[in-house]
Amino acid sequence: VKRWDTRPDSFAWVDDSIRRLRRAGLHRELPEPLPEPLPERELIDLSGNDYAHLARHPLVVQAVMDAATEFGAGATGARLVSGDRPVHRRLESELATFTGVAAALVFSSAYLANLGIVTAMCRPGSLVVLDAHAHASLLDGCKLAGADIALSDHGSVSSVAKILADSPHPRILVITESVFSVDGDLAPLEDLYQECRKRGAGLLVDDAHGLGVLGDGGRGALHATGLAGAPDVVATSSLGKSLGSQGGVLLGPDRVIRHAVGSSRSFLFNTALAPTSAAAALASVRVLTREPERAEQARAVAQALAQTLATQGLPVSSPAAAVFSVRAPSASSAVAWARKCRSDGVLVGCFRPPSVPDGHSRLRLGVHPALDTKQRARAADVITRHSPWQDALRPPL
Ligand SMILES: Cc1ncc(COP(=O)(O)O)c(C=O)c1O
């Protein structure tokens, strides 16, 4: 065994950092892995983003197996080098048709799709107007692009309008999520678009939590708001949420997609999306097309569960799609609340700084259409029973 010289200890600060985070209730650790296969009847999973209940759909799983046989385990190279496969092209074409846009480009994740499109569309001297609650990947993209960043008040069209009116920048991109990932509220997309038009700004919509849930048959936020096909709107989405797979996608006008192919470094310098993931997402799009009722059912389940929790006096956000949150009094009480729910068979997400936009920790609940009334009642009972608000002062709803 090799003996290392540990003086000086270059990474001693890491232990201090972990200790500090632990004291503040903000340390993160991987939880115990879930049992496989998930005992769905005993365990109610509200912690994931499988909003259309497709991750284990037989046709989706079969598509993965067929793709592995046909294409192997990985793409073996970047799309522009050796990793391009027919399944990528089929997925892009069907996703574009499904969402009503001209073209699509798939990435290895939505995180990378966001980095890729923001850096392709903005540069030093550009302005990005970013909603204050926007996802970390969008902010990271803005920083990487070296653009000037203006944070607009959350969900506020007038805040965006004021920034646009005051800006001398020649190139502007307004960026928002469609359904915000933490509270599940909806951005005022049509009004934002009108403001963008007045100023000649582009609009980028992250539809990670809208695709598969919002609009007619889950065709996503652009389709739902009549913005699909607009020449100055682009969207990104995740293949790892409603589509039950892994990966990301850029959706929009043909010229923007062609530009992204050559200018998005997270596309250029990255092994192509695994063909198995592409095949799974493709199978999911086809299921959604055949079963458009899944989207509406997911929305209805979210509203019913949020309503039940609100009647119990919990501070619940109001879901526009299939995800919503319940505020906790503090980061450490949120962690304890989630842990108690888990030990009673209900898995919930636990969001603390820096994953929350406003410093307030929350439980985050994502639902899907197959959650029946009995499971919803049990989940609501467990969440309410373990609520830390029972002994604390409840905030106004
Ligand atoms: C709004 C939003 N955008 C992007 C992402 C990144 O998605 P992916 O997991 O596909 O990288 C997420 C997921 O956390 C998200 O919530």
Ligand 1 atom at minimum distance from 246 CA: 10
Nearest to 350 by CA among 54, 47, 119: 47
Please classify residue 223 by burial: count the beta carbons closer than 10 Å to its beta carbon, then call 0-12 exposed, 13-18 middle and 19+ buried.
buried
Distances (CA, A) of 124 to 52, 143, 200, 201, 351: 40, 10, 18, 16, 33
Atom of ligand 1 nearest to the CA of 134: 1
Residue 141 · residue 117 · CB < 8 Å: yes
Distance 237 CA to ligand 1 centre (A): 8
Query: Tell me, what's the pLDDT at 397?
Result: 47
d(CA 353, CA 185): 19
**pLDDT given at position 46:** 97
Pocket test for ligand 1, best of 133, 137, 183, 270 (most atoms within 8 A of CB): 137
> pLDDT tens per residue, the chain (397 residues)?
899 998 888 999 999 999 999 988 888 888 877 776 666 668 899 999 999 999 999 999 999 999 999 999 999 999 999 999 999 999 999 999 999 999 999 999 999 999 999 999 999 999 999 999 999 999 999 999 999 999 999 999 999 999 999 999 999 999 999 999 989 999 999 999 999 999 999 999 999 999 999 999 999 999 999 999 999 999 999 999 999 999 999 999 999 999 999 999 999 999 999 999 999 999 999 999 999 999 999 999 999 999 999 999 999 999 999 999 999 999 999 999 999 999 999 999 999 988 887 889 999 999 999 999 999 999 999 999 999 997 555 555 4
Nearest-CA residue for atom 15 of ligand 1: 208
Centre of ligand 1 to C-alpha 234, Å, is 16
What's the token pair of residue 271?
């092994």
Q: How many CB atoms lie within 10 A of CB 143?
A: 14
Quote the ligand 1 centre to 214 CA distance (angstroms): 16
pLDDT of residue 393: 53
* 3 state SS of 152: strand
Three-state DSSP class for residue 106: strand
**Angle (deg, nearest 10), helices 373-385 and 293-311:** 30
DSSP at 208: T
Ligand 1 mean position to 8 CA, how many Å? 39
State in Å: Cα 1 to ligand 1 middle: 42
Per-state percent for the chain, helix, strand, coil, to nearest 5: 45, 15, 40
Q: Please tell me the distance between residue 394's alpha carbon and the centre of ligand 1 in angstroms.
A: 31
pLDDT of residue 276: 98
The minimum-distance atom of ligand 1 relative to the CA of 241 is 10
From the CA of 245, how far away is ligand 1's center (Å)? 12
pLDDT confidence of residue 30: 86
Ligand 1 atom closest to 114 (CA): 4
Amino acid identity of residue 319, one-letter, is P
Q: What confidence score (pLDDT) does residue 391 get?
A: 57
| Atom in ligand 1 nearest the alpha carbon of residue 181 | 16
Calculate how far, in angstroms, residue 392's C-alpha sits from the geometric centre of ligand 1.
Answer: 33
pLDDT of residue 3: 92
CA of 111 to the centre of ligand 1 (A): 6
Residue 109 CA to ligand 1 center (angstroms) comes to: 8
Ligand 1 — pocket residues by CB below 6 A?
109-111, 114, 135, 137, 177, 181, 206, 208, 238, 240, 248
